[in-house]
Structure 1
Amino acid sequence: MPHLDPFTVPEFHLPFEGSKEPGGDRANAEATAWAVDRGLVEAEAAEQFAGIGFGHLAARVSRGASSGELVLLAEWMAWSFVLDDQHDHLIRSGRLDDWKPLSDAITRHVGGGPADAPEPARDNPLVSSFAELCDRVLAGMPPLLQGRYRRHVPRMLRSLDEEAANRRPGHRPAVEDYVLTRRHSSQLLPMMDMVEAAQGIEVPDEVDASPALTELAWSAIDVISWGNDVFSLPKEYSCGDTNNLAVLLADGHGLTLPEAVRAVEERIRARVEDFLAAARDLPRALDALGVTDPVARAAVERRVRSYEDWMIGADLWQRHDCTRYRDERFAAGREAAYTRPDLVTVG
């Protein structure tokens, strides 16, 4: 195992006011119980799994959400952590061939494939629990957001394939390529769709696809993803995972890990300034697009506030609500105790 130089997680430049809905504890408990009931996590590992604090993260990024909406988002987050850790298990154990049937089944379901289609993975808990969640999520979404969610989930799954390719022996992705992959492997976009649905934010498609809104989204997602790379650095460095911005900067520029962390901090600061500049420019950009509808313009303003909640909320969750990044087992690069090697067995 490579030596990990000690470093301090910086206080990132995040000039936003955080909030937290009061239902975080309940959402965390209910999402944990749901994951155990659906066979994603074994009962004896439930306490450690609950320490991730997905309910608290949901409460920090869902300003004004109902208790039911918080629980649903917390359950989706719980599922996404299991997905990520089980995918990591397949990479470590050299069993990536087992991934495609699961990924294909999830993609089929979110795409609206026929329920009676032959599907060897349909009874797998990772797939069946996704199908349940997906149906509940889509039932609460307007058509506009349903379309985005249906696009974002398959892209998220493809990004996990890209991360697996990045971990081939001796391979180091270019920083620019990694950043593009990380935007989707963060799994943020489907969750952001859910929050927008809960908050009644419907940005028209032509506005959503504009360069101004695209820059706003990517800058916020980069800030969240790169901050997470610092929190998860001990684990990813210790197990040789190259899917980490600090690891790539250290390797590519001959930096020590503390120097690489400071470089990530500076990149986050610059990206926050990009976000703030894009937000200031939105009225002019909307004028240029001919968007005069006050409802559409208000939706864009509410999206800006939501992105701010995501950036500061994710940071505060990692610092105060989540034991994942402080767990000695995780920091040493070992798999989580709740990982189930049998969960990704198809057939």
Structure 2
Amino acid sequence: MPHLDSFTIPEFHLPFENSKDPAADRANAEATAWAVDRGLIDGAWEQFAGIGFGHLTARVDRGAPYERIVLLSEWMAWSFVLDDQHDLLIREGRLDAWQPVSDAIARHVRGERSGRPGAAPHSALLDTFVELCDRILAGMPPSIQDRYRVHVPRMLRSLDEEAANRRPGHRPTVEEYVLTRRHSSQLLPMMDMVEADQGIEVPAEIRRSPAFQELAWSAIDVISWGNDVFSLPKEYSCGDTNNLAALLAAWHDLTLTDAVRAVEERVHARVEDFLAAARRLPGALEGFGVTDAAARTATDRCVRSYEDWMVGADLWQRYDCTRYRDERFAAGLEAAYTRPDLLSAA
């Protein structure tokens, strides 16, 4: 593999505008305090707050009621803990502790309320999921609830796929990784929450159309691949193959600088794919005979929401988030706030 040389994070030239809800700082502080109170993190709360989950929420869910902004910020905080905890288990070879918790989360989100599943111990990670999931579903219309109940278990399976990708001597293909990354980004449940908060309900037949599918996946690819560039030093340093730039470098014998440039080119191509899909959507609506003004407005608003996600995530990583500039993170070390005992800490 090439040497971890220095590289410049490119400007991805996303042709969208973004503004931030004024509740960003307050929501970030409240979500941090919630994580501390629930025992999700072990000290280093200032480092945890520096992730800026409240600021990302404020960029993608602006104008939502404050309690929903806080809820999404708490979900994002939980998601970062989930990601860090899963990474720690992989590093320490303790993935056997992960499956009972993952199974319990999947069962709860599907609506199975027969008590805590047998092998899953009480833990702060699981208990806070139950708390958040119940609050999230209570604020969602049934159609979005159904998607959320599908997206969370799929997200968990993608973490298993990423763990498998880190087996010694294994390297996923770029194509395999792209499919996994769409879910391990954890974006889909968050997008569900934003659409519920913003009152965006796109008709199911439109969501199934090729134009809308391309719209959604291209937006998710843009966000995920951009994040891979920001997180490249950490993932490369610890030998994590779950990174588009690292995989392009390995498979195509590129320097990391050239690999980052290749990711930039792919991001630009996916932005063009997104714009082309958006232009095809009115025709898709006509093809399905959708004439209802509310449905057309919801589709337009969903396009704008995906635009907010793409540019908002980029601006958050550049200006609101200290995670990718932290020396421990860049060196490939686990976060200072990570709790080794989290899966058994209630």
Smaller-chain TM-score range?
over 0.9
Please tell me whether residue 232 in structure 1 is matched to residue 231 in structure 2: yes
Q: Contact 1:10 / 1:265 at 8 angstroms: preserved in 2? A: yes
The alpha carbon displacement at 1:122 in A equals 5.3
Q: Contact 2:109 / 2:152 at 8 angstroms: preserved in 1? A: yes
Counterpart in 1 of 2:198? 199
Report SS of the residue matched to 2:309. Answer: helix
Counterpart in 2 of 1:88? 87
Matches within 5 A, 1:1-347: 3-42=3-42, 44-121=43-120, 123-345=122-344
Using the alignment, how far apart are the partners of 1:117 and 1:35 within structure 2? 22
Q: Contact 2:147 / 2:192 at 8 angstroms: preserved in 1? A: yes
RMSD: 1.4
Using the alignment, how far apart are the partners of 2:65 and 2:50 within structure 1? 23
Using the alignment, how far apart are the partners of 1:82 and 1:2 within structure 2? 30
Using the alignment, how far apart are the partners of 1:140 and 1:334 within structure 2? 37
Opposite residue 177 of structure 2, the aligned amino acid is: Y
The alpha carbon displacement at 1:345 in A equals 3.8
Instruction: Report which stretch shifted further, 153-162 or 282-291.
Output: 282-291
Using the alignment, how far apart are the partners of 2:181 and 2:48 within structure 1? 23
Using the alignment, how far apart are the partners of 1:28 and 1:172 within structure 2? 37
Using the alignment, how far apart are the partners of 2:333 and 2:208 within structure 1? 40
Q: Contact 2:226 / 2:267 at 8 angstroms: preserved in 1? A: yes
Using the alignment, how far apart are the partners of 2:34 and 2:315 within structure 1? 25
Using the alignment, how far apart are the partners of 1:35 and 1:204 within structure 2? 36
Show CA shifts across 1:155-206 (max 9, x none).
0000000000000111110101100000000000000000000000011222
Using the alignment, how far apart are the partners of 1:119 and 1:23 within structure 2? 41
The alpha carbon displacement at 1:120 in A equals 3.8
The answer for unaligned runs of 5 or more in structure 1 is: none
Opposite residue 5 of structure 1, the aligned amino acid is: D
Using the alignment, how far apart are the partners of 1:210 and 1:16 within structure 2? 24
Q: Contact 1:98 / 1:345 at 8 angstroms: preserved in 2? A: no
Identity among equivalent positions (%) equals 77
User: TM-score, length-normalised on structure 2?
Assistant: 0.98
The alpha carbon displacement at 1:100 in A equals 0.3
The alpha carbon displacement at 1:344 in A equals 2.4
Q: Contact 2:141 / 2:196 at 8 angstroms: preserved in 1? A: yes
Report SS of the residue matched to 1:149. Answer: helix
Using the alignment, how far apart are the partners of 1:172 and 1:322 within structure 2? 29
Q: Contact 2:16 / 2:311 at 8 angstroms: preserved in 1? A: yes
Using the alignment, how far apart are the partners of 2:335 and 2:116 within structure 1? 34
Using the alignment, how far apart are the partners of 1:81 and 1:114 within structure 2? 26
Q: Contact 2:104 / 2:116 at 8 angstroms: preserved in 1? A: no
Instruction: Report which stretch shifted further, 116-125 or 293-302.
Output: 116-125
Opposite residue 264 of structure 2, the aligned amino acid is: E
Q: Residues 35, 270 of structure 1: CA spacing in aligned structure 2 closer, same or farther, 3 A cutoff? A: same
Give the aligned length: 346
Show CA shifts across 1:13-42 (max 9, x none).
200001100000011000001001111012
The alpha carbon displacement at 1:47 in A equals 0.8
Q: Contact 1:110 / 1:153 at 8 angstroms: preserved in 2? A: yes
Report SS of the residue matched to 2:34. Answer: helix
The alpha carbon displacement at 1:115 in A equals 4.2
Report SS of the residue matched to 2:41. Answer: coil
Report SS of the residue matched to 2:337. Answer: coil
Using the alignment, how far apart are the partners of 1:323 and 1:346 within structure 2? 27
Using the alignment, how far apart are the partners of 1:13 and 1:167 within structure 2? 32
Q: Residues 118, 11 of structure 1: CA spacing in aligned structure 2 closer, same or farther, 3 A cutoff? A: closer
